[in-house]
Amino acid sequence: MDRPQPRTRLRRLHRPRVQGTAGNGLQLGHPRTRRQVIPRRLSRKRTIMSNVAVIGLGIMGLPMAINLVKAGHTVTGFNRSQDKIDKLVSEGGQGASSIADAVKDADVVITMVPDSPDVEGVVSGKDGVFANAKQGTLWIDASSIRPDVAKRLSDDAREAGIRPLDAPVSGGEQGAIDAVLSIMVGGEKADFDDAQDVLNAVGKTIVHVGPSGSGQTVKAANQLIVAVNIEVLGEAIAFLEAYGVDTDAALKVLGGGLAGSKVLDQKGQKMLDRNFDPGFRLALHHKDLGIVTAAAREANVAVPLGAVVAQLVAATVNQGDGALDHSGLFKQVLQLSGRK
């Protein structure tokens, strides 16, 4: 008599880099029965998202779109300037002549534009994302906008049959190029789970932080921390230069101690070199600090250091330096110190 074949061991689920607020897994019954209990949330077939539309191919959006192409997605891009579309096409993507054209066949739509009115402009109206995307399309807004606007637009998206996630990113241009962005995501957990394939193609630290609007709130906190760090790094370098210290050596040793930070690693040399080619423009950080200070006032939270830095950034932008990298805040420190 033939012996019964041994049961095939269940393979462990692939564990993506995405982190969530709750664990997903299989619960197995007694080894003799091997009864498989699947949580209701996992019982539906996971959507495989392959057609991605990217609206906004700027400093961040273009490298994100290219990384999506490299990850095997079919990517269609739209941008106001044709040269960015041409660049995406040269990297294996596709170009669109309008927002409607870009999103009509998309499983996922990513928007990466500068400010709250820009996001509203590309998603609303008869030519926008909501009116032209398929029912059930996942909309990921990677822009940095006001949390209240993100919440309102997410409600509008659901009314239109679109699944919204606010997913602003941090890491600058290099982080976008290297696909190691930090992404803070607000929205429904099930939609977050469905976005894993796309988010993993552009980011490294990816966390679901709460309901719609939460991603933008966390991003505002991120921009507060970064701005204050840039300001105090600029002050420290001006201080070191005034005393004729070997600044390269100084930053090396400071970076190895408690004063070390990603801001020091990524912006210190730019300040020493007076090279402020934009990775993240001061004008955009100025906008973000306006979001921080307004939201803090709404919540009755004091941000005294943030308020001072916001004014210094505003002054730098008003002096015509808004197109510089945000490390260009160092220019304001030097001016206040009477140094070149």
DSSP string over 104-130: TT-SEEEE--SSHHHHHHHHSSTTSHH
Rounded CA-CA distance 100/133 in Å is 7
- 129 φ, ψ (degrees, to nearest 5): -60, -45
Rounded CA-CA distance 18/182 in Å is 11
For 259, half-sphere exposure in the C-beta direction (CA atoms, 13 angstrom radius) is 13
The secondary element (H helix, E strand) that includes residue 294 is: helix 282-298
Tell me which residues are annotated as active site: 219
Give start and end residues of each alpha helix (H) in 71-171: 82-90, 99-103, 116-123, 129-132, 147-159
Q: Is 251 helix (H, G, I), strand (E, B) or coil?
A: helix
